[in-house]
Amino acid sequence: MNKSYAVFGLGRYGLTVVKELIKNGADVLAVDINESVIENAKSSVPICKCADVTNKEVLVQLGIANIDTVVIAMASHLEESIMTTMLCKEMGVKKVIVKSATEFNKKILLKVGADKVVIPEYESGIRMAKEILHSGFVDVVDISNKISMLEIEVQDEWVGKTLMELDLRKKHSFNVVAIKIKEEVVTFIDPSMPLQKDMVLLVIADVSKIKKWNK
């Protein structure tokens, strides 16, 4: 099943995230408390709602408990961001990513349950959208429009198996070029070495194959 996403706050950053997710074929619920913002977004965003996301009953009506990832892009309103983060986690949202204005606010948001906090000066909306689309990926770097280099966490079902057994190149068109073991990067890879949970695979792959694998 395809994963579902919601973005709260349609300022420049939030709208960038929404558009990038939609561009990649994701189902996205876009929400803002400002009606004029929603009206302006409707032409490019299929599902827009004007709502107060600090209200639990509103979140229930929006079906947020069924959303896989929620992005809270309301950095200028710390209190609202905190409340919404807590409500989303309370309702069982698997991943809540929150935009923060400062490092101090970031610490607070992490303490109240945010899974990740981003500061826009350090991370663009497009990059963040790519990251949440590619769940399980530590990092994503586009080499071209068709090819990306990824850092992939070793999946639970891969632990104890070798690259030879997994045959990721044949199954997913993933070319493993290195393995990160703690702080060490190993480029000479033994295909018969059992993978461990704390390893990260450095992979080059076709973008279309990445999207297919991530669903």
Instruction: Indicate if 126 and 183 belong to the same structural domain.
Output: no
Instruction: Indicate if 143 and 124 belong to the same structural domain.
Output: no
Please, are residues 155 and 135 in contact by the beta-carbon 8 Å criterion? no
Please, are residues 71 and 5 in contact by the beta-carbon 8 Å criterion? yes
Computed on alpha carbons and rounded to an integer, the radius of gyration of the chain in Å comes to: 19
Instruction: Indicate if 101 and 174 belong to the same structural domain.
Output: no
Instruction: Indicate if 105 and 181 belong to the same structural domain.
Output: no
Instruction: Indicate if 101 and 142 belong to the same structural domain.
Output: no
Give me the helix-helix angle, 125-133 and 12-23, nearest 10°.
40
In this structure, the dihedral spanned by the alpha carbons of residues 71, 57, 47 and 130, taken in order and rounded to 10 degrees, is 10
pTM above 0.95, yes or no: no
Q: What is the pLDDT of residue 28?
A: 93
The CATH number assigned to the domain holding 191 equals: 3.30.70.1450
Q: What is the pLDDT of residue 209?
A: 66
Please, are residues 109 and 83 in contact by the beta-carbon 8 Å criterion? no
Q: What is the pLDDT of residue 138?
A: 46
Structure tokens at 154: 């070793």
Q: On the CB side of 102, how many CA atoms lie within 13 Å of its CA?
A: 6
Q: On the CB side of 28, how many CA atoms lie within 13 Å of its CA?
A: 29
Instruction: Indicate if 30 and 95 belong to the same structural domain.
Output: yes
Instruction: Indicate if 52 and 21 belong to the same structural domain.
Output: yes
149: helix, strand or coil: strand
Domain that holds residue 42: 4-133
112: helix, strand or coil: coil
Q: Which stretches in the chain have pLDDT values below 70?
A: 1, 121-145, 207, 209-215
Q: Which residues contact 7 (CB under 8 A, 6 or more apart)?
A: 14, 17, 18, 21, 28, 29, 30, 31, 70, 71, 73
**How many angstroms separate the first and last alpha carbons of the chain?**
6
Instruction: Indicate if 42 and 144 belong to the same structural domain.
Output: no
Instruction: Indicate if 37 and 102 belong to the same structural domain.
Output: yes
The CATH number assigned to the domain holding 13 equals: 3.40.50.720
Instruction: Indicate if 129 and 143 belong to the same structural domain.
Output: no
User: 84, 99, 133 — which closes off a domain?
Assistant: 133
User: 133, 161, 193 — which closes off a domain?
Assistant: 133
Q: What is the pLDDT of residue 200?
A: 85
- Domain count within the chain: 2
Please, are residues 189 and 166 in contact by the beta-carbon 8 Å criterion? no
Q: What is the pLDDT of residue 1?
A: 45
Instruction: Indicate if 21 and 113 belong to the same structural domain.
Output: yes
Kindly report the three-state secondary structure assignment for every residue of 172-207: HCEEEEEEEECCEEECCCCCCCCCCCCEEEEEEEEH
User: 110, 133, 156 — which closes off a domain?
Assistant: 133
Residue 153's region, left for phi above 0, alpha for psi from -120 to 50, else beta, is beta
Instruction: Indicate if 121 and 18 belong to the same structural domain.
Output: yes
| CA–CA separation, 185 and 179 (whole Å) | 6
